[in-house]
């Protein structure tokens, strides 16, 4: 069996067919990864940081060739892919800096005290890497959320080994990226087997079920993620499954903002909803707004452009959903944009529905339509919107557009959105996610399978770490992060006080 890449602009095959990875080969790669993990996890943080920097440098050095392959397989365009690859290498360097800073290990020391009840011995706690991680590539970010994207970068930084399940939508991009990464790791002295790639649906199933795999990172569809989540939890030894699955990303436009900044908001909305042909997990697919702004929103969508979607299945599903909504008695078609004549091209679309109708059909009208479409829910009084927000499915983001005079209403809306969303945006748009310590890219089900973790940003590293406490161990046998002299100079909590002691 083989996996074939395609050019979304023509619908024709791209590159040679690639062999599906056999179960025997998956097993071999997992065993090699486990052996590599045993070595890599004991490497000094500075050494791991140096290797991550080297991988970033080598990817930058081959950027032109990588981007050409990715554009042929995704039709995302050279400008977008250039930015995405740079984001990917910056992400690797960010985690290298995290390793050098050192506080991510959460080193905690409690001195012995035999005079309290119960008596306390010397106990010291640190986060340690957990093992081999299976990473499932995303369709819509062939670099930043795929082969060496956020899951892989954070897992390697943590001290884990990675086996990547390639996405069938860009298999050649995966192979070429994987080639550069593997060569850079070898050049940097990383152990053989630390990073590898597999192809084919069955290889992904095998990975999730393999006893040496200790956690899974996934970005993809709700149906695919749910199937793998169930597999991870049905193992004899269930493992964490960190899935980012789907999101409608509600936006609430308050009345004064709609009256005073209608054109500006409409332009920003259209740019956000059509970015990457709407194939972003943070696409603002649901907007609550006064009816006065609908015409401007419609005009902005009419003036916008679609493009070729990532694969034929996504294109067909998007078109089918738009056609169904266009003929629905529940919603009205407000506007459609234009699209090129590419094989899998899709046009932007905007629909509207009154709040009462939306509330009565909430489950049906909150299904994500992956592509450049959105539904605007019109309201008269923001007080009527508040109880509806808390009934929305879990989402990655929630956005508020408001004027300073509407601070009280904005706070009330945020109070509802924070119950269902992992990131709240004020007078902005959810597409575009910063690489930062404070970033949260997660939310309640079905946005993610674990709302307390993030798949983007520095805290993503915590998914691949587990705490270990050392009790009454000799100082010379402790990990460097826990020794009395603090040889790494990292920030630690000692007897309840944070510092460099």
Catalytic positions: 244, 281
> What token pair was written down for 456?
């983007």
Whole-Å CA distances, 181 to 26, 340, 347: 19, 35, 36
Q: Which two tokens stand for residue 364?
A: 């049906």
The candidate with the shortest Cα–Cα distance to 255, out of 385, 88, 393, is 385
Is 417 in contact with 424 (CB distance < 8 Å)? Answer: yes
Secondary structure (DSSP) of 378-433:
EES-HHHHHHHHTTSPPEEEEEEE--GGGHHHHHHHHHHHTTTEEEEEESS-SSS-
> At a CB cut-off of 8 Å and minimum separation 6, what does 118 contact?
none
Phi and psi at residue 209, to the nearest 5°: -90, -10
Q: Distance (Å, rounded) from C-alpha 347 to C-alpha 63?
A: 30
**Do the Cβ atoms of 127 and 466 come closer than 8 Å?**
yes
Q: Residue with structure tokens 């007897």? A: 495
Query: What's the CA angle centered on 438, arms 432 and 442, to 5 degrees?
Result: 65
Tokens representing 108 are 């905690």
Distance CA 376, CA 256 (A): 17
Cα–Cα distance list, 257 to 16, 83, 374, 477 (Å): 53, 31, 19, 61
Q: In the 3-class helix/strand/coil scheme, how is 442-489 assigned residue by residue?
A: CCCCCCECCCCCCCCCHHHHHHHEEEEEEECCCHHHCCHHHCCCCCCC
Facing residues of 430 across strands? Answer: none
């Amino acid at each position: 069996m083989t996996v074939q890449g395609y050019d979304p602009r023509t619908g024709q095959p791209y590159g040679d067919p690639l062999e599906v990875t056999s179960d025997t080969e998956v097993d071999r790669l997992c065993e090699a990864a486990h052996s590599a993990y045993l070595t890599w996890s004991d490497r000094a943080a500075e050494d791991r940081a140096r290797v991550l920097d080297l991988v970033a440098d080598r990817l930058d050095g081959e950027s032109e060739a990588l981007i050409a392959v990715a554009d042929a397989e995704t039709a995302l365009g050279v400008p977008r892919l250039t930015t995405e690859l740079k984001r990917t290498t910056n992400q690797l360097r960010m985690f290298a800096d995290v390793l050098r800073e050192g506080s991510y290990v959460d080193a905690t020391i409690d001195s012995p005290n035999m005079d309290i009840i119960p008596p306390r011995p010397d106990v010291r706690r640190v986060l340690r890497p957990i093992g081999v991680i299976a990473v499932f590539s995303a369709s819509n970010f062939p670099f930043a959320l795929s082969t060496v994207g956020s899951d892989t970068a954070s897992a390697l930084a943590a001290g884990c080994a990675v086996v990547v399940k390639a996405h069938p939508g860009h298999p050649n991009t995966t192979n070429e990226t994987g080639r550069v990464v593997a060569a850079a790791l070898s050049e940097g002295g990383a152990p053989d087997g630390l990073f590898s790639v597999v192809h084919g649906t069955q290889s992904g199933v095998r990975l999730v079920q393999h006893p040496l795999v200790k956690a899974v990172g996934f970005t993809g569809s709700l149906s695919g993620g749910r199937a793998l989540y169930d597999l991870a939890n049905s193992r004899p030894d269930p493992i964490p499954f960190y899935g980012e699955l789907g999101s409608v990303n509600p936006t609430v436009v308050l009345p004064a903002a709609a009256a005073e900044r209608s054109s500006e908001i409409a332009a920003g909305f259209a740019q956000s909803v059509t970015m990457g042909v709407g194939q972003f997990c943070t696409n603002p697919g649901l907007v609550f707004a006064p009816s006065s702004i609908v015409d401007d929103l419609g005009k902005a969508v009419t003036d916008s452009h679609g493009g070729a979607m990532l694969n034929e299945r996504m294109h067909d599903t998007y078109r089918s959903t738009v056609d169904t909504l266009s003929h629905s008695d529940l919603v009205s078609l407000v506007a459609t944009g234009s699209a090129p004549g590419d094989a899998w091209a899709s046009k932007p679309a905007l629909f509207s529905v009154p709040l009462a109708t939306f509330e009565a059909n909430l489950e049906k009208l909150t299904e994500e339509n992956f592509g450049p479409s959105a539904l605007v829910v019109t309201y008269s009084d923001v007080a009527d919107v508040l109880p509806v927000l808390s009934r929305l499915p879990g989402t990655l983001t929630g956005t508020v557009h408001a004027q300073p005079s509407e601070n009280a209403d904005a706070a009330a809306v945020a109070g509802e959105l924070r119950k269902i969303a992992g990131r709240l945006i004020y007078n902005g748009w959810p597409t575009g996610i910063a690489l930062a310590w404070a970033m949260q890219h997660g939310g309640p089900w079905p946005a993610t399978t674990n709302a307390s973790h993030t798949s983007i940003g520095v805290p993503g590293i915590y998914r691949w770490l587990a705490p270990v406490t050392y009790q009454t161990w000799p100082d010379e046998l402790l990990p460097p992060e826990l020794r009395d002299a603090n040889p790494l100079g990292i920030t630690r909590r000692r007897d309840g006080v944070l510092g460099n002691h």
